[in-house]
Amino acid sequence: MSQSWTMQPLFQLFLARFREFIRTPEAVFWSYVFPLVMMIALGLAFRSEPVEAVAVTIQNGDLSEATQKLLADNKAVKVTSGSEDDCRRMLRAGQTELIVVVTGTAEKPSYEFRYDPTRPGSVHARNTVNDALERASGRKDLLTTSDKAIQEPGSRYIDFLVPGLIGMGLMGGGVWGVGYAIVDMRIRQVLKRFLGTPMKKHHFVAAMMASRMVFMIPEIIVILLLARVMFGVTNNGSYFSVGVIVLLGAIEFASIGLMIASRARTLEAVAGLMNLTMVPMWIGSGIFFSASRFPDLVQPLIKILPLTPVIASLRHVMQEGATMVQILPNIGIMLAWAVGTFVVALKVFRWD
Amino acid sequence: MTYAIECRQLTKTWPGNPPVEAVRGIDLAVDQGTCFGVLGPNGAGKTTTIEICEGLLEATSGEALILGRSWKTHPDEIREQIGLSLQETRLSEKLTVLETLTLFRSFYRDGLDPMEAIAKVSLQEKTNARIKSLSGGQKQRVAVATALVGNPKLLFLDEPTTGLDPQSRRDLWRIITEFREAGGTVLLTTHYMDEAERLCDRVAIFDRGKILAIDSPQKLIADLGAEHMVVFTVSGSMDPADDFGAGLPGVIGVRRESEHRCLSVREPHIAIPSLLALINQQGLQLTSLTTRQATLEDVFVHYAGHGLNDESEGARR
């Protein structure tokens, strides 16, 4: 029989793995759909909107209606009125930010602002109302000022979130996709059965890694595309840099998955090891919030977690347009993890 | 001609406290073109021995030569020439029969066309069926096909028919017989005596990590000196002694299997009348009596001193 390239063991091992994957709908769902659902949900929840008008309540009195008229045209405030008790209740419940009590006469009114100075919304309301009332009473501005809205690309939460989700997808896909599959094959004695054939061990390992690389490509493309279409997330750096980071991240986590699975003989054991590996990174590597919020003491540790450099360099490139040279230190950390875990995995790997 | 398999003083000790001696000095030689059976109860060291021969385990001491080559020096050459099925392999359920065999075929330099291997195990109509949809017997045939697809000279089958229905067992027997008739060598382990008698040119009877006897099934049975078994039950006021019937003319051996008593006899026509006389004389009633040919089971009991279905004391790892 002819030894065409389709009969190469590496290709056949890859093909077998690929078929197993696409014939397991739940694996496809968790790899492809879950990160998207997460992105859409979080993207909608934390979308950036213009600051809403602040709620202000005027306590009922002789001059309350006149005051309400003064503020009626001001779009920055939403004015209501109520009795003293109503006002207090609304302030407590967060339904209003500021109570305005007007005393004095129509010619010379006196305003008292009641609010909690620790609430940023209340402080903002106080200044806005104060300003509006002053102007309505004829204050002239002495300086020439003008407002110009600036929306920096890459500065919204969704811009921050997408690189985090890509990193999370790379980690989960590599650790689960490689780790779980290998332990499953060990339990089914398939690894041992392969050992009884002339199959080259490096072909098997290479096929597992390669299949992971291929599964990851549509996953990342779909996230990036949808992020762009739905939320206008753009890449301010080069796609080449993003590609390099993603590829290296995928290799890194496939290696880590290989190492986690290198000896485990039960699914419980490997699931425990996977959680032990991934939970610190879910929390510490800055998927959903910046890793710099952790105390300085643990920063060195957080910086060398396998996921941290992936997400950090993706953000650096996508949000700030960093070049490859600028992300080299992070590339170095990723390479070290990829090579280190791969070597250890091959050394301790158990076939039966 | 070199032996297909030659084991010299093979031992395997699993570390532990206390260490488990799974194999304790096995010598055996298998001629090319023959079928060799390894017989014994669970825990006798059958699987450990076959896995050392397959290159899956390393012997603690001693050596297994396969087709004249050593695992230490020529592992790749040996693997190209052997095919094996493990006691329990669950092939990927999501792949089809053809995909599975194409995968295994790709590991070998030379071999059969995957379709040819499928034909050898008569699964043509399941070619594109997923493994998941196959019956236990069909899955086992796929496992054997993965062993055949590299066109091996030597086939290792570890309990190939355990748990299969009678029809599936016969299907596998046919596959094994055809392989042997084409000049291949087979080493199989089994705890079914009928399987060994039917398929094997020679058998080795294993117990507790050692070989108790090794010869052709016919010769082993003939060596018992008694080719017939008389099996009977009696009832009476008191239970007769365990060795009831020993010493009667023509009786070679006596054993008891719960309420059944078995006499190994050379000449039933002499032994049975004297047995009936003894029963009468002791005031017992004969409640059943059958005779049968002696089998390898009887050979096993003769050598091991216990039944095949008793767990061997040399525990599995």
Lowest-pLDDT range of A3-12, A233-242, A309-318, B102-111 = A3-12
CA closest to B105 among chain A residues: A7
Same domain, A141 and A162: no
pLDDT at B146: 97
- What residues of B are in contact with residue A195 (Cβ under 8 Å)? 55-56
User: Looking at the structure, do residues A98 and A122 belong to the same domain, yes or no?
Assistant: yes
* Cβ–Cβ below 8 Å for A195 and B91: no
Q: Do A195 and B56 touch (CB under 8 A)?
A: yes
Q: What are phi and psi of B245, to 5 degrees?
A: 100, -10
Q: Is the pLDDT of residue A347 over 50?
A: yes
Domain boundary among A134, A149, A164: A149
Cβ atoms of residues A206 and A342 within 8 Å:
no
- Do A169 and A142 have their domain in common? no
Q: Check if A15 contacts B (Cβ < 8 Å).
A: yes
Reported as a single tens digit per residue, the pLDDT across B277-311 is 988 888 888 899 998 888 888 888 888 877 665 55
pLDDT (tens digit per residue) in A199-243: 998 899 999 999 999 988 888 999 999 999 988 888 989 999 999
Q: Do A142 and A168 fall within a single domain? A: no
Pairing status of strand B210-215 against strand B185-190: unpaired
* pLDDT mean across residues, chain A: 88
For residues A40 and A61, state if they share a domain. no
- Percent of chain B's residues with pLDDT above 90: 59
Report the residue of chain A nearest B112, measured CA to CA. Answer: A1
Distance from CA of A174 to the nearest CA of B (A): 20
Query: How many CB atoms sit inside 10 A of residue A136's CB?
Result: 15
Considering the domain architecture, whether residues A140 and A184 belong to the same structural domain is answered as no
On the 0-12 / 13-18 / 19+ scale of CB atoms within 10 A, B153 is middle
Contact A196 B82 (CB under 8 A): yes
Q: Which of A47-51, B61-65, B170-174, B252-256 has the lowest mean pLDDT?
A: A47-51
pLDDT band at A1 (very low <50, low <70, confident <90, very high): very low
8 Å CB contact of B94 and A23: yes
Residue to mutate among A17, A24, A193, with most B CBs inside 10 A, is A193
Report the distance separating Cα A205 and Cα A343, nearest Å.
12
Q: Do A189 and B88 touch (CB under 8 A)?
A: yes
Q: pLDDT tens-digit profile of B2-29?
A: 899 999 999 999 998 889 999 999 999 9
User: With bands split at pLDDT 50, 70 and 90, how would you rate the model's confidence at B312?
Assistant: very low
Alpha-carbon span B199 to B161, nearest angstrom = 12
Same domain, yes or no: A109 and A233: no
pLDDT value, residue A258: 94
Find where tokens 């790892």 sit: B317
Is the pLDDT at A110 greater than 60, yes or no?
yes
Pairwise CB contact (< 8 Å): A199 & B54: no
- A304 and A174 within one domain: yes
Q: What is the Cα–Cα distance from B86 to A5, expressed in whole angstroms?
A: 29
Are the CB atoms for B154 and B83 separated by under 8 Å? yes
Helix (H, G, I), strand (E, B) or coil at A110: strand
User: What DSSP assignment string belongs to B222-260?
Assistant: HHTT--EEEEEEEE-SSPPPTTTTTTSTTEEEEEEETTE
Average pLDDT of chain B?
89
Shortest CB distance from B84 goes to which of A8, A19, A196?
Answer: A196
Total-model pTM: 0.80
Q: Which residues of A touch B104 (CB under 8 A)?
A: 197
Q: Shortest CA distance to B154 belongs to which of B66, B71, B75, B76? A: B66
The model's confidence at residue A105, banded by pLDDT at 50, 70 and 90, is confident
Say whether residue A12 is in contact with chain B using an 8 A CB cutoff: yes
B84 touches chain A (CB under 8 A): yes
Q: Which SS3 state, helix, strand or coil, does residue B191 take? A: coil
pLDDT for A176 beyond 60: yes
Q: Which of A26-35, A58-67, A163-172, A317-326 has the lowest mean pLDDT?
A: A26-35
Q: Are residues A143 and A267 in the same domain?
A: no
Do B251 and B262 touch, CB atoms closer than 8 A?
Answer: no
Domain total in chain A: 2
Two structure tokens written together for A51: 């600051």
Instruction: Indicate if the pLDDT at residue A3 is higher than 60.
Output: no
Q: Does A201 touch chain B (CB under 8 A)?
A: no
pLDDT, residue B307, reads: 67
Residues A145 and A160 in one domain: no
The domain spanning residue A113 has which CATH number?
3.40.1710.10
Question: For residue B57, what are its two tokens?
Answer: 């385990």
Q: How many residues does chain B have?
A: 317
Measure in Å the smallest separation between the Cα of A206 and chain B Cα atoms. Answer: 15
CB contact under 8 A, A192 and B76: no
Q: Count the Cβ atoms, other than its own, within 10 Å of residue A272.
A: 13
Of A24, A185, A196, the CB nearest to B54: A196
What range defines the domain where residue A68 resides?
55-149
Residues of A in contact with B108 (CB under 8 A): 197-198
DSSP symbols for B69-93: EETTT-HHHHHHHEEEE-SS----T
Closest to B86 measured CA to CA, from B129, B47, B138: B47
In this structure, what are the phi and psi dihedrals at residue A171, rounded to the nearest 5 degrees? Answer: -65, -55
Comparing A149 with A60, the larger pLDDT belongs to A60
How does residue A291 score in pLDDT terms, banded at 50, 70 and 90? Answer: confident
Termini Cα distance of chain B: 36
Give CA separation, B142 vs B120, B127, B212, B249, in Å: 10, 10, 33, 53
Domain boundary (A95, A123, A149) is at A149
A vs B: CB pairs below 8 A: 74
The residue among B128 and B236 whose pLDDT is bigger is B128
Q: Which of A149, A165, A184 is at the close of a domain? A: A149
Q: Residue range B195-211: average pLDDT?
A: 92
Per-residue pLDDT at B315: 40
Predicted-complex ipTM score: 0.86
* Rounded-to-integer distance, Cα A159 and Cα A275, Å: 27
Percent of chain A with pLDDT over 90: 45
Taking residue A309's Cβ as centre, other Cβ atoms within 10 Å add up to 28
Q: Which of B80, B92, B150 sits opposite A16 (nearest CB)?
A: B92
Same domain for A93 and A134?
yes
Asked if the model's pLDDT at residue B142 lies above 60, the reply is yes
Confidence of residue A50 (pLDDT cuts 50, 70, 90): low
Domain identity same for A303 and A267: yes
Q: Is A92 on the interface with B (CB under 8 A)?
A: no
Residue A7 with chain B: CB contacts under 8 Å: 102, 105-106
Buried/exposed B23-35: b ≥16 CB within 10 Å, e otherwise: bbebebebebbbb
